[in-house]
Structures are given as structure tokens and as C-alpha cells.
Amino acid sequence: QVQLVESGGGLVQAGGSLGLSCAASGRTFTSYSMGWFRQAPGKEREFVAVISWSTGATYYADSVKGRFTISRDNAKNTVYLQMNSLKPEDTAVYYCAAALQSSHAVEVGTPDYWGQGTQVTVSS
């Protein structure tokens, strides 16, 4: 069982930056590809970014490419999402996700575990 706890959400002005963290429980963090999703009001949850459990390779949704950076610290069992040049349309609840040995499962929205979410609001 893996528990994911996000932190770092908040209110920021357009053009600003915000960093999210997701702390994972358990001793097998290195076996999980980790990702971020978001869900805006009235919209479906959408994929944002993923980082591979094995190679550290990353992949991003087109909407955030070049502005967001996903990274992980295996010693701290934590995955991060650095968000720069934020836009009002980035406003959403951001969720952390984990999939055992599968970045693909994260990308298609079928991870093994989800966090509870953290709110990010970007004002114009």
C-alpha cells in the first residue's frame, strides 16, 4: 500500500511560479513511476506530467511543456512539480499519482494510487 500526500498548493498571480510536493509512504518508492494530474471545475481530470521509475525520463502534456518540470528525490520518497509562467487556465486541483513500474499507466490515467489533491489558483 502506498499513500500519497500533496502539498504546496495556493494562490499565485498569472506569470508567477509555484512548487508542489508529493510525499509517498512505503519502502518501494523507487519502483513507482510518479505523475501529476489536474482537474479544473467542470472538467475531467487530465494528465500533466510523469517521471519514470527506472530511467527518470519525463513526459509532459503539451499544455504545460516548457513551463512545468517534474522531478523526484528517491532518498526522500518525494516527487515535485515546479510550475512556472502560470496562467489562469492552470487553475485546478492537482493530484499526485503512482504506478508500479509503469509510466504508461500514469500517462493513460490508470495509476495504482492517487493522492488527495491540492488546490492551485492562478489569478489574472
Please tell me the distance from the alpha carbon of residue 33 to that of residue 49, in angstroms, as a whole number.
Answer: 11
Q: Tell me what pLDDT residue 26 has.
A: 80
Q: How many CB atoms neighbour CB 49 within 10 A?
A: 24
Over residues 3-32, mean pLDDT: 95
- Residue 27 pLDDT: 75
Contact 103/57 with Cβ under 8 angstroms? yes
Distance CA 21, CA 113 (A): 16
Q: Tens of pLDDT along 35-81?
A: 999 999 999 999 999 999 999 999 999 999 999 999 999 999 999 99
What does the pLDDT look like over 72-118, one tens digit per residue?
A: 999 999 999 999 999 999 999 999 999 999 999 999 999 999 999 99
pLDDT of residue 68: 98
